[in-house]
Structure 1
């Protein structure tokens, strides 16, 4: 059995940056807490906890006066609450998420209804909606309006697929363009997402089974699994090497491995080692 890794997989620069900031802060100022997990990967969260960096679900659960903002960012309303409490902030917001926040604010201030192509419950999307100043909504399906807004601005959750975003935008052009006075689209999908999706598609053309390594609550990892499955290759999404079922590998000669942008190198190597062990 041949095992091939995708050309681009695992940690993106935004995740590495967030972890570096947190680890440096922990060394310099001691243990600290993050508002929610810094990234959607349990192994990363567990590793940071061993370094004294632990996640809390809300400001009410915070202990101490230092709080880290996760790579997903927060809304200006949450930022104001943090400052009102006099907390020291360690900000690890991904630069691509920051760009989406700025785009949402500028569109809203220019009089557009901001539509975010993304998962409404995702912390990144909730934060971005906050920057839209109450003039936004999030959805993965084209919304239906009783009265179509005259000006619509469309942006994307940074980890959504390009193909999905393109279809979403096309739905407005195809059915609602005549009723709009202005439609503005800002591509806020991050480069790492595009690179990993393209590499996964290329890998899917060369293998007959793909293992996607990443947190199940990771939007970009789920997106990779969806893209690979849609390409017609047998696909399994796992978080850890121990989840691999030997039965998956029967009658497969070429196995591909890819991983989401929040998946650590160690998790990827453990999966590859397990696949090699099962091939003995």
Structure 2
């Protein structure tokens, strides 16, 4: 059985940075809190929890110690609330997400109606919306574009982990109405490269495996993208999810991980594939 992976696997820069900052905070021996997952990966979440990171429902639940700001960022309103407390702040917001926040505000200040392509319920999008004075439009794909709500001057940004293909379709739909469009490409370069690698691999193998959490936005999009080019695509969180029956008759396997999937999980999947292949 041939096992193919991209040259670069493992977590992206933003995830590695967030984990490093959190581990440094935990090493100081003071209570550390976070309002949700640092990144969307159960293995990372579990390991940080074992080291003492405590997840709370609200900033109001933090009474002291250190607050870790998630990689997805927060709104200025939430930031102001944190700064009124006598606690240390460790800002693990991904620099690419921060750029998206700045881009959205810039478009608004230039008089554009801001349209964000992404998941309206995602923490990153909520944080970006919090940086705006006016209500922005948020769509996941071109089918959600309501032309009646569009103005003639529209500025677009994208969730940093969104699918490039989906974004192209949204732009085409907006062009039907808007007379002036300004686009700031806020999709992370690492994400774009993963998507390109995924498409290439999916077309070369019998089975495509996407490794990552089932509640990771970028991993879910990778799976959807791979499935478009290879119907025999599955998503697993780790090697334990891999079933021998799924490999029946398979001579080549492609593996790719989401931006928050540690390289050790990819290696474990490769190891199990080799073990199954020897039977």
Same fold, TM-score > 0.5, yes or no: yes
1:51 alignment counterpart: 51
Tell me how many residue pairs correspond in the alignment. 276
1:120 alignment counterpart: 120
In 2, the alpha carbon distance for the partners of 1:72 and 1:79 equals 13
In 1, the alpha carbon distance for the partners of 2:167 and 2:141 equals 10
* CA RMSD, 1 decimal: 1.5
Structure 1 residue matching 2:130: 3-state secondary structure = helix
In 2, the alpha carbon distance for the partners of 1:11 and 1:63 equals 32
Greater shift, 58-67 or 210-219, is seen at 58-67
1:261 alignment counterpart: 259
Structure 2 residue matching 1:183: 3-state secondary structure = strand
In 1, the alpha carbon distance for the partners of 2:31 and 2:3 equals 40
In 1, the alpha carbon distance for the partners of 2:118 and 2:186 equals 11
Structure 2 residue matching 1:207: 3-state secondary structure = coil
What TM-score comes out, normalization by structure 2 length? Answer: 0.94
Kept in 2, the 8 Å contact 1:107–1:114? The answer is yes
What TM-score comes out, normalization by structure 1 length? Answer: 0.94
2:99 alignment counterpart: 99
1:20 alignment counterpart: 20
2:185 alignment counterpart: 187
In 2, the alpha carbon distance for the partners of 1:117 and 1:88 equals 33
Kept in 2, the 8 Å contact 1:207–1:255? The answer is yes
Structure 2 residue matching 1:262: 3-state secondary structure = coil
Q: CA deviation at 1:208?
A: 1.0
Q: CA deviation at 1:78?
A: 1.0
Among 155, 158, 162, the alignment partner of 2:157 is 155
In 1, the alpha carbon distance for the partners of 2:206 and 2:10 equals 21
Structure 2 residue matching 1:121: 3-state secondary structure = coil
1:86-120 Cα offsets, whole Å, 9 max, x none, are 33210000010000000011111222221110000
Q: Please show how residues 83-94 of structure 1 align to structure 2 within 5 Å.
A: 83-94=83-94
Q: CA deviation at 1:123?
A: 0.1
2:72 alignment counterpart: 72
1:198-228 Cα offsets, whole Å, 9 max, x none, are 1111111221101110011111111111111
Kept in 1, the 8 Å contact 2:151–2:177? The answer is no
> Is residue 205 of structure 2 the alignment partner of residue 164 of structure 1?
no
Kept in 2, the 8 Å contact 1:113–1:151? The answer is yes
Q: CA deviation at 1:233?
A: 4.3
